[in-house]
Amino acid sequence: MSASRLNLAELDLSELETALEARGCERFHARQLYRWVYRRGVVDFGKMTDLSKELRSRLAMEFDAVTPVVASDVTSIDGTRKFALELSDRRRIEAVFIPDTPAMTFCISTQVGCAMGCGFCLTGKMGLVRNLTAGESAGQVRVLAAATGMLDHPFNIVLMGMGEPLHNYANTMKALRILHSEHGLAVSPRRVTLSTVGIVPGLERLAHEPLMPNLAISLHATSEAQRSELVPPNRKYPLADILEACRRFPLKKRSRITFEYVMLDRVNDTPEDARRLARLLSGIRAKVNLIPLNPAPGIPYDRPSDARVDQFAQILADRHLTVSVRKSRGQDIRAACGQLIVEGGVKKSAAQQMALLMQS
Ligand code: SF4
């Protein structure tokens, strides 16, 4: 890759129009390029047959379209596919295709590793390696859509892979703008769910976004003390402030905020926790997604019994909350929630940990 070539995967449509114009090309070619790259999954300018030969060779001199490379693609017995994708600096991230939920869903990463350090999460053990660029975040969708034959079909995106999306705010939002372009994949923000631990300034910015995704808050505890233990950012952005920001959040008609609650056996799964959770959410248009922990080596918690999960869910339902229990997908390939990346000791480098996981 020539250092002087511009990576068009990092450009939204208007930036690409401007870049083309600055290089003496017509602006409208940006739409054609978006169609090739996003709708057809073609990044080789030589194959873009509705462009003149002269333009194709000129584009190849001036631009490239850097695309994450599939390093591995493992399918679970339930059809979930976990992809390890290698970035241009050889770092790896993971993205997961979850079929029939009932929609087709891509779970993508926004960072390499994560700085949030949640106590039940393997990714959190890595620490933050770096932010993904907008092109890398959007690139995961391009690659997965092509690999799964979904370029021409509607799909959902959940920002629930590695990383905290609001900790990489500008790049994440730009990725959503790129994916939204009607000349590309045309992903409606209604089909996107952003999951966050609740970075309050990020939530406030999000409330003013023109392309506002659905919001999911990773709650996981019902008292400040316990949440600060399980989700360390709570020390800076306490539960009370997050719920206040949720109350102010400008929800569209009929939409609700999802509250995710990883259930840890005899830690946060008591009937009292359930009653407290219902009280905390009163006055918020909420639904609750209970996620019985996927146990993993190095994670000091267990999965609660089905009876404890059912009792917890029933208490919420009795208080008129919509509640679902997440069926764990792809557990046999470690693609389930909180299981992306790292296995083995935390002293290993992120790359070593990734390599270990890839071999498992
Ligand atoms: S649960 Fe999410 S926010 Fe917490 S450490 Fe894991 S990836 Fe980061």
pLDDT of residue 111: 97
Reply yes or no on whether 26 is catalytic: no
pLDDT of residue 327: 73
Residue whose CB lies within 8 A of the most ligand 1 atoms, among 107, 108, 122, 123, for a mutation test: 123
In angstroms, the CA 150 to CA 155 distance is: 7
* Pair 117, 161: CB distance under 8 Å: no
Residues 105-138 have pLDDT tens digits of 999 999 999 999 999 998 888 899 999 999 999 9
- How buried is 264 (Cβ within 10 angstroms: 0-12 exposed, 13-18 middle, 19+ buried)? buried
Reply yes or no on whether 25 is catalytic: no
Residues 9-26 have pLDDT tens digits of 999 999 999 999 999 999
Question: Tokens 């923000």 identify what position?
Answer: 189
- Write the DSSP symbol of residue 75: E
Which residues form ligand 1's pocket by a CB distance below 6 Å?
114, 116-118, 121, 123-124, 162-164, 197, 338
Using the mean position of ligand 1's atoms as its centre, give its distance from the Cα of residue 162 in Å: 7
Q: Which atom of ligand 1 is nearest to the CA of 161?
A: 7
pLDDT of residue 254: 84
Residues 313-335 have pLDDT tens digits of 999 999 999 999 987 666 666 66
Calculate mean pLDDT across residues 240-250: 97
* Pair 260, 289: CB distance under 8 Å: yes
For ligand 1, atom 4: residue with the closest CA: 118
| Paired strand residues for 107 | 96, 158
Using the mean position of ligand 1's atoms as its centre, give its distance from the Cα of residue 300 in Å: 16
Using the mean position of ligand 1's atoms as its centre, give its distance from the Cα of residue 121 in Å: 6
pLDDT of residue 360: 28
pLDDT band at 357 (very low <50, low <70, confident <90, very high): very low
Per the model's pLDDT, the better-predicted residue between 197 and 124 turns out to be 197
* Pair 245, 198: CB distance under 8 Å: yes
Residue whose CB lies within 8 A of the most ligand 1 atoms, among 114, 172, 242, for a mutation test: 114
Check pLDDT > 80 for residue 2: no
Peptide bond into 238 cis (omega under 30): no
10, 17, 62, 94: the catalytic one is 94
Residues 26-59 have pLDDT tens digits of 999 999 999 999 999 999 999 999 999 999 999 9
pLDDT of residue 3: 57
Check pLDDT > 60 for residue 348: no
Using the mean position of ligand 1's atoms as its centre, give its distance from the Cα of residue 196 in Å: 8
In angstroms, the CA 22 to CA 247 distance is: 46
Check pLDDT > 70 for residue 353: no
| Integer angstrom CA distances of residue 2 from 77, 91, 205, 278, 316 | 42, 20, 37, 56, 57
| Paired strand residues for 6 | 63
pLDDT of residue 280: 98
Residue whose CB lies within 8 A of the most ligand 1 atoms, among 96, 110, 164, for a mutation test: 164
